[in-house]
Every structure is written in structure tokens, then in C-alpha cells.
Chains A and B, each alone.
Chain A
Amino acid sequence: MSKRNEKREVRYKNTCAQYETTMRNYIIKRLLLIIPMLIGISFILFVIMHLAPGDPASIRYGLNPDVSESARENFNKIYGLDKPVIVQYGMWMKRFMSLDFGNSFIDDQDVTAKILSKLPATLLLQSSSLIVIFCVALPIGIISAVKRNTIFDKTMTVVVFTGYAMPTFWLALLLIFLFGFKLQWFPISGMDPWYISYLGWTARIKDTAWHLVLPVFVTAFTGLASLSRYSRSSVIEAMQQQYILTARAKGLPERRVIFVHAVRNALLPIITILGLTLPALISGSFIFETIFAWPGMGRLGYEAIMNYDYPVVMGVAVISTFLTLSGIFLSDMLYAFIDPRIRYGAKQ
């Protein structure tokens, strides 16, 4: 091996080592930053919640002639609501340190258990619709970009924007009425029918899949726009780059030019979108879940807010804050991992 090559090797190794230490420091810093942010956000949220007029006991029992004022005070005492907000926050923080979100005011269930009971339904629905969105929106975007300003492109523009502009509840009701009620192809509402617990597992999976069709269609259809438009413009931009010209000049088949050179580069920003969908995976949607009687997180959060169920509101909020922060973190990391320009670009 020549000396020059050796030198180059050493330099490369140094660069890698340096990169690794900066990267490690960077990761640790980013991870540590999540903690003060979580604390800050939770504090602001806690205070805002308590600033709103009314309190849990009066919302629940305010106009119930059977519940006396002393019983309402007793309720506040039992849940520690008679203490100053700062003390309450301290108590909450102390429990939170051991990952205990406390118990719901509404039904005294453990908040973690309560969230875990609603999480699978939302995860199932959101991840299936996310998969559908990716599988449909990306091809639409890519084809629209490649066949820019053709009939296909224009039709797709109209279709995805129709989905985007359409009120979810309205579309959902229409579909339920048509496919659930009139044609009876799909179930009207719910996740699985009650009698499923008297049947076997296979029936259960089949039935749940059946119940998924309409909700997934509605979320996917109304959610197509951003991803397809984003990938379209991104691919169009990539197609104008000089390396595409080079690739074409090399005489590469057009298929290869598009899928290997253009799309690969164009879809890098999609990672950011992926990272940002992480909190959406668990947050669910109130309107949507109400219409489909889907037992998800959206209804849980809404019910908690309407009833001033502080522990549940805090629990849901902290978890989605955490997921948002780690989603951003993850997408940044993925970026560096996938794109060598970012990895080494920082060095130059």
C-alpha cells in the first residue's frame, strides 16, 4: 500500500472517529434537552388547566340536587384539589418521576391503564391508515411529477384536494350510510361486535379487519394531500437537477433515472414527515372516533378535557409531547444516518 493511500486511510479514520464523538455528544445533548422541555411543557399545561374557570367537582356534581356542597368539598379533599396549584404540581411531578400518572377523577382507573386500554385501537387504525397513505400517496406524487401537467396529474390534484377539503365527519357519515346501512357491505360502527367474545380468534381478526375498512378509507382519503403534493414537488425539483441530466446523458433507461436517481434523492425529506407522524399515531381524532364509535385516544382526551380530568389530560399530553420530541429527534438522527452529505457535511 502506498504511503499516500495510508495517509488517506488515517485521515478517513480520524474523520470517522471525530464524527462519532461529535455525533455521540450531539445525541446525548438532544436527549437531555427533552427532559427540561417535558417539565416546562407539563408545568405550563398544569397551570393553564387550573386557570380555566370551574373545577372537576362542580362540573361533575354542580347541579345535582343529591350531591351536597360538603360532598363536593370532600371530593376535592380526596383528590388533593383543595391544595394550592404549585403543591398539586409538585405532587404530580413526584408521582411522575416514578412514571405514575395517578388515577382518573372520572372512574378512578389508573391513568396508564386507561391510556393503554385505548391505545391499541388508535394505533391499529392510525398505523393502517398511515400505511395506506404511504402506499397510495407516494406513487401518486411520483407519477404526477413525472407526468406533470397531464390528465392524470390534474385529476389526482383534484382528487387529493377534494379529500383534504372534505369535512371528515360528513364523508364518514355518507360512507356509513351508503356502504354500512344501504348496501350493508361493511359494519356501521364499532371496532368489533360484542358477540365476538363468544367466537374464536380467527373470527375476531377477520371481523376487526372488516370494521377497519371504512375508517381507514376515510382517514387515508382525507390525509392523502400533504404527502402526495409534497412528494410531487420534491420529485419535480429533483428532476431538474444536473445529475438527472448526467444520468440521462449516460444513456440510463428512464425508469432507472427516475427511481434510482430522482426519487431516491427527492424522498429524503419524507423522513421528516415520518417523524412528525409519530405523535399522530397515538393522538387519534375525536370527531372521527365519535362517528365510528371507535374506542380510541381522541375520545379519551376529549372526555378528559370536558370533565376537567386533570390526571388523564396530563397523562395524554405528556405522552404525546414526549412522542413529538422524540419524533423530531428520531427524524434528525435518521437523516444523518441515511444521508452521507449531512453526516460529513458538518465537518467541512
Chain B
Amino acid sequence: MYPRRKQRNLAPPNVYTLDEIIISMRRHPKLNLSKRPPLVSQAGVFFLFLILFCYPTYSEEAWVSRDACSAAGIGDARILIPFFADDTSSSSICGLVYNGLTKVDKDLNVVGDLAERWEVSEDGRVITFYLRKNVRWHDGSPFTARDVQFTFETIQDPGAGSPYISGFMDISGIKVLDAHTVRFEYKQPYAPALLKLGMGLIPKHLFEGDPDIRRSPYARAPIGTGPYKFKKWESGQYIILEANQDYFGHVPGIKRYVYRIIPDQSVAFLELVAGGVDSMQLDPYQFRYRSDTAQFKEKINKYRYLAPSYTYIGYNLKDPFLKDPRVRQALSYAINKKEIINAALLGMGEPCTGHFWKNSIYYDQSVNIYNYDPEKARTLFAEAGWVDVDDDGVLEKDGMEFRMKIITNQGNQVREDVATITQRQWLEVGVVVDIQIVAWAAFLDQFIGRKNFQAVILGWSLPVDPDCYSIWHSDSIREGGLNSVSYSNERVDELIENGRREFDPEKRKEIYHEIHRIIARDAPYTFLFSAYAAPAVNKRFRGIEPAPAGISYNFIDWYVPKDEVKYKF
């Protein structure tokens, strides 16, 4: 007969043995130590034991999941399968529910996640992953190499329709060597693979044979291996995740993660201060001014770090005015980035000079050009033949005035402000600019796609891997490619190709530093700034350690002291 008995709850007992406490404290040395800074921060294991015996309260502070953290987000998630997720909401939920083979640590290095270790063959074409054992899916089934194979074969299948398919097309074969070993064979060495293969893995036993994975019920009620289990999704309102008590890393310190959808930024801010949400991303105005109240300071910590993105002015290199590099350099010198950052971002950003994430090793910090210098701009313009002949404040060449149009997309206030400031700054060196702001769809279709523009203000968000083939390689100039400024430089092409083949981070660093320098010199863009991400988190959450990767990389280490728990059920 059908078994009547319900499956027993597998949650661990609330009483912890001494060993368990020690283990949990070893896993989180800073967690308990950070509360007693001067004495203990330098202490070793001996002190740990001492504290354990001297402060009996620690047995109560043992590592268990407590409380809930509700984060405010602007939009609803769309689909909770990692290789379909293409918006921030879905990606952040997927990040807590699923694991990949690899992940990035707080300093942006590639480390193992579900893979304990890996080997890259001499020629860089074969990568063998050795998986963690005893990992289980949220439904209790064991995780094996077959799941890995299934996930990546599904991504490679055009019929499945994953948007990220191109990053996996170089894989010629995925072989399961045994239950916990899997080997990827590439047609050619592909260094970004290590990060690309960090894509969240999905369970084979639930998706196999499903002709349309995107419409599977598990796309909206996901089963992963991650630190959080999916609990509930109220469309347009919130998504609830619950701590996975069997997580292979360690049990998360926060029992529930709630993603609340609050589309209006100012309402979200009120919720944050009132306690309705525990964390959100502040905009520059909120960071600078709105959070400057006693009520805010008492309850909430704010952080800031450089977001993996930058804003630039791109020049169409096919334009008769702009194809001369000296003109572009002059325009770059005429831009006062500090002023732009102070006005458009209220100081919440840093100037940048290249295409790479300023926090990563691939960004060449030594490149320090295009600091505001209108004199130098005028000199460069004169070299290129642009001089103000009739003294009307506008440069001329061959009887033509230097008038151009700068476009940007509607709905991004920062970019619109940048356009206005740029207009004024360029006028000072004799360049007259018209601004055109275009709705997103038409902007992409009529202007960027058809390369029908002179200068454009846009931004890129940057992946951790520095590969920039799709943006800077001359192959990407073709229609539909993202090299819409038509930048072409043989040396850069060669370096980009080398960078894709080189696995050694040190050697890759050299390569990308050189790319950084060359592109800076050629000035197809004026690189403007990298803005700060500014998360704010309720003070009851401890264990937050800001790092180049941000603050949420160690979310499972966050915890709430027992006496500050807000949601006790």
C-alpha cells in the first residue's frame, strides 16, 4: 500500500555537541571573533577554545539558521533556470538556489564550487573536473557528473534556446568519466571556459525528456543544490527561499531569504528605513543625502564598491570628423570626468580609462591619460586641422564648422545628465554638440544597429572574465555585432585571440593590460567612469565583509545575533 507516514524532517537538532560548535566556529572564525576585536582578532585556535569555555553564551550563539533577510528589488524574476536567466532578479535568485562547477571568490579569482578541483591539459583543450561527493539536490537525489553533462548539452542545443549558447559552442565533447569526474573537450583552447562553466547546474532527473525546459514547472519552482531552497513565488510581490539545512558548504546563517518586488525606488527606501525590507541598492541621492538621518544611521549600514560596469562616450570611427584619432583624443582631453561624476553621480563613481572592471587585475591601473586638459585638446585639434579661424568660438576645418550630434537612450537620467555636461564642456574647446535622446527600442534599431550615429553615450556591464572579443575584435564590426564604433586594430585582435587561449592569470594580465593601453591611445571611446554600487543593509545582519566582489558573495556567512532576531517563526 501507499506509505502513510510522512517523510521525517531532516533538519538538524537544535542541541549542538561541542564538536559541532567547534567545527562551525572554525568555519567562521571571523564571525564570532569580530565581536571582540582587540584581544581575539589575533588569537589562534587556543583562544577560540578559551572563549568557548569562558563564555558559555557561545553555546547559544551556535551556528544555526535564524531570522529572514528581505531584499528589495525593482522587477520580478522571470525564469529560474540559470542558463535562461538574463535579468538581475532571476540571476540573483538562481545564484542562491543553484551551484556551478566554479565560482568567483571575494577577490574575483576562479575557485571551485561543485567542482573540488580541475585540471587543464597541456594544450588547453581538455578540462577535467573532479566533483564534490555526497552533494544532494533539494529533492534528495544525489548530484553526479551526469547532471553536469546534461546541463551543458542542453545549453548547446539550439532548440532549447539558451541565450548564452555562443559561450559553449567550442565544446566538442562532454565525457562522464565516473560519477564524480567529468571531462570537457574543446575544439580550441578557451580560457573564459572556467568561468563560463560556472553556470548553475540543473538536475537531469527532473528535466530529461522535457521537450520545452523553459516551460517546465521547475522553471518557476527550481530544484538546485544551493544554500537556499525555493519555497514560494507570489508573482509581482515576493519570492521566498529557505535555508538548505543539508547544504554541502555549511548551513546558511539566515533562515529565509525574501526577494520583495518594490518597483519604486523612493518607496523602497521608506520600507528600508521603516524595517519592511532589510536591504536594497541606494541611488546616489539616497546614499548622499536621504540616508543622512539619525533614524537611518541607527538602523542601517551602507556600503559602496565599484560596480562591474562603466559609462563611455563612443565615437563612430567611420565618421569623417571622428576617424582621426587626434580628434578623439582631443575630445577626450576636453572632458572633465571629475565634474561629470560630481554632477551626474553626486561623486558616487571613479573615473576610468579602459574597458576592464577597475577592481580586477586585468585593469591596468598605470594608464593615466585624458585627465582634463583643454589646452592639450586645442593643440590636438590644431594638429588635426581644426582651428577657430573666424573667432566665433567654433572650430573650423576646410570651411566646415565642427558640429556633431550625440545620442543616448531615454530613461537613463545619468546618461542624459552626462550628455548635457559634455555638451557644455566640448563647447569650451569649440565643438558644438546637439543632444538627441531616443527611446530604447528605436535607439538600438535605428541608431546603434545601423551604426547611424556620430557619438553615443552608453555603458557596458562587465563580466568577471576579461575576454572582450564581442566588443573590441574587428570580427564584431559586422551588422548585429557589438563593435558598433567599428574599432579595428590588428594588434588588439591578436591579443584578444591570445587572451582567449591563455589560462595563466599572470600571462592574461599582461595581455589585457596591453589591450587596455592600446585602446586608450586609439581613443575609440572616451571612458568616463565606473559607478559605485551602494547597497544598504539593516544593522542586525553581521558577517558582512565588503570586498572587490561586493557584499553578497558570502551571504551564507551572514547571521543575526540571537537577541536581535526579528522574524522568529
Task: Determine if chain A interacts with chain B.
Answer: yes
Q: Which residues of A contact B (CB under 8 A)?
A: 52-55, 58-72, 74-75, 78, 103, 106-109, 114, 117-118, 121, 173, 176-177, 180-181, 184, 187-195, 197-198, 289-293, 295-296, 299-300, 303, 308
**Contact present for B471 and A65 (CB under 8 Å):** yes
Task: Report the bound CA distance from A62 to B215 in whole Å.
Answer: 24
**Contact present for B267 and A189 (CB under 8 Å):** yes
Q: A60-B86, A75-B161, A194-B70 provided; 8 other pairs, C-beta below 8 A?
A: A65-B470, A66-B166, A66-B463, A71-B162, A108-B79, A108-B214, A194-B258, A299-B263
18 pairs from A and B in contact (CB 8 Å cutoff): A58-B449, A63-B448, A65-B471, A66-B470, A67-B163, A67-B166, A68-B166, A70-B166, A121-B236, A184-B274, A188-B267, A189-B270, A190-B238, A194-B258, A290-B264, A293-B264, A293-B267, A303-B75
**Contact present for B482 and A53 (CB under 8 Å):** no
Q: Which residue of B lies closest to A193 (CB)?
A: B276
Cβ-based interface call for B167 (8 A): yes
**Contact present for B480 and A197 (CB under 8 Å):** no
Q: Which residue of A lies closest to B479 (CB)?
A: A69
- Which listed residue (B215, B480, B567) contacts A195, Cβ 8 A? B567
Residues from chain A with Cβ under 8 Å of B458 in the complex: 63
**Contact present for A180 and B161 (CB under 8 Å):** no
Residues from chain A with Cβ under 8 Å of B270 in the complex: 176-177, 180-181, 188-189
**Contact present for A78 and B569 (CB under 8 Å):** no
Task: Report the bound CA distance from A271 to B298 in whole Å.
Answer: 55
Q: Which residues of B contact A (CB under 8 A)?
A: 68, 70, 75, 78-79, 86, 158-159, 161-167, 214-215, 219-220, 232, 234-238, 240, 258, 260-264, 266-268, 270-271, 273-274, 276, 440-442, 444-446, 448-449, 458, 460, 463, 468, 470-471, 480-482, 567, 569
Question: Which one of A118, A184, A293 has the highest number of Cβ atoms from chain B below 10 Å of its Cβ?
Answer: A293
Task: Report the bound CA distance from A66 to B460 in whole Å.
Answer: 12
Residues from chain A with Cβ under 8 Å of B78 in the complex: 106-107
B313 to chain A, nearest CB (A): 15
Residues from chain B with Cβ under 8 Å of A52 in the complex: 441
Evaluate whether A190 and B264 lie within 8 angstroms (CB atoms) in the complex, with A68-B165, A295-B236 already known. Answer: no
**Contact present for A118 and B569 (CB under 8 Å):** no
Task: Report the bound CA distance from A65 to B236 in whole Å.
Answer: 28
Evaluate whether A109 and B220 lie within 8 angstroms (CB atoms) in the complex, with A58-B449, A60-B86 already known. Answer: yes
Residues from chain A with Cβ under 8 Å of B215 in the complex: 103, 108-109
Q: Which residue of A lies closest to B166 (CB)?
A: A68
Task: Report the bound CA distance from A118 to B569 in whole Å.
Answer: 28
Residues from chain B with Cβ under 8 Å of A66 in the complex: 163-164, 166-167, 463, 470
Task: Report the bound CA distance from A189 to B158 in whole Å.
Answer: 42
Task: Report the bound CA distance from A192 to B324 in whole Å.
Answer: 60
Residues from chain A with Cβ under 8 Å of B240 in the complex: 194, 197
Residues from chain B with Cβ under 8 Å of A292 in the complex: 267
**Contact present for A189 and B262 (CB under 8 Å):** yes
Task: Report the bound CA distance from A194 to B240 in whole Å.
Answer: 8
Residues from chain A with Cβ under 8 Å of B258 in the complex: 194
Task: Report the bound CA distance from A70 to B481 in whole Å.
Answer: 10
Q: Which residue of B lies closest to A297 (CB)?
A: B236
A204 to chain B, nearest CB (A): 12
Question: Which one of B266, B267, B468 has the highest number of Cβ atoms from chain A below 10 Å of its Cβ?
Answer: B267
Residues from chain B with Cβ under 8 Å of A64 in the complex: 86, 163
**Contact present for A58 and B569 (CB under 8 Å):** no
B545 to chain A, nearest CB (A): 27
Evaluate whether A63 and B444 lie within 8 angstroms (CB atoms) in the complex, with A190-B260, A291-B267, A299-B236 already known. Answer: yes
**Contact present for B276 and A188 (CB under 8 Å):** yes
**Contact present for A308 and B441 (CB under 8 Å):** yes
Evaluate whether A65 and B460 lie within 8 angstroms (CB atoms) in the complex, with A53-B441, A299-B263 already known. Answer: yes
B254 to chain A, nearest CB (A): 14
**Contact present for B440 and A59 (CB under 8 Å):** yes
**Contact present for B440 and A71 (CB under 8 Å):** no
Task: Report the bound CA distance from A187 to B448 in whole Å.
Answer: 44
Residues from chain A with Cβ under 8 Å of B482 in the complex: 63, 65
**Contact present for B273 and A78 (CB under 8 Å):** no
**Contact present for A54 and B444 (CB under 8 Å):** yes
Evaluate whether A194 and B158 lie within 8 angstroms (CB atoms) in the complex, with A62-B448, A75-B163 already known. Answer: no
**Contact present for A117 and B444 (CB under 8 Å):** no
B559 to chain A, nearest CB (A): 19
Residues from chain B with Cβ under 8 Å of A191 in the complex: 237
Residues from chain B with Cβ under 8 Å of A78 in the complex: 159, 161
Q: Which residue of B lies closest to A177 (CB)?
A: B270
Task: Report the bound CA distance from A52 to B445 in whole Å.
Answer: 10
**Contact present for A195 and B235 (CB under 8 Å):** no
Residues from chain B with Cβ under 8 Å of A190 in the complex: 237-238, 260, 262, 276
**Contact present for B263 and A65 (CB under 8 Å):** no
Q: Which residue of B lies closest to A184 (CB)?
A: B274
Residues from chain A with Cβ under 8 Å of B214 in the complex: 108
Residues from chain B with Cβ under 8 Å of A303 in the complex: 75
Residues from chain A with Cβ under 8 Å of B162 in the complex: 71
**Contact present for B237 and A61 (CB under 8 Å):** no
**Contact present for A293 and B79 (CB under 8 Å):** no
Task: Report the bound CA distance from A69 to B68 in whole Å.
Answer: 41
Residues from chain B with Cβ under 8 Å of A72 in the complex: 163, 480
Question: What 5 A-B pairs have minimum CB-CB distances, sorted nearest first?
Answer: A295-B236, A54-B441, A68-B166, A69-B480, A107-B78
Task: Report the bound CA distance from A180 to B269 in whole Å.
Answer: 12
B500 to chain A, nearest CB (A): 14
**Contact present for B463 and A65 (CB under 8 Å):** yes
Question: Which one of A117, A190, A192 has the highest number of Cβ atoms from chain B below 10 Å of its Cβ?
Answer: A190
**Contact present for B569 and A71 (CB under 8 Å):** no
- Which listed residue (B158, B219, B446) contacts A53, Cβ 8 A? B446
Task: Report the bound CA distance from A300 to B448 in whole Å.
Answer: 28
B535 to chain A, nearest CB (A): 19
Task: Report the bound CA distance from A198 to B258 in whole Å.
Answer: 13
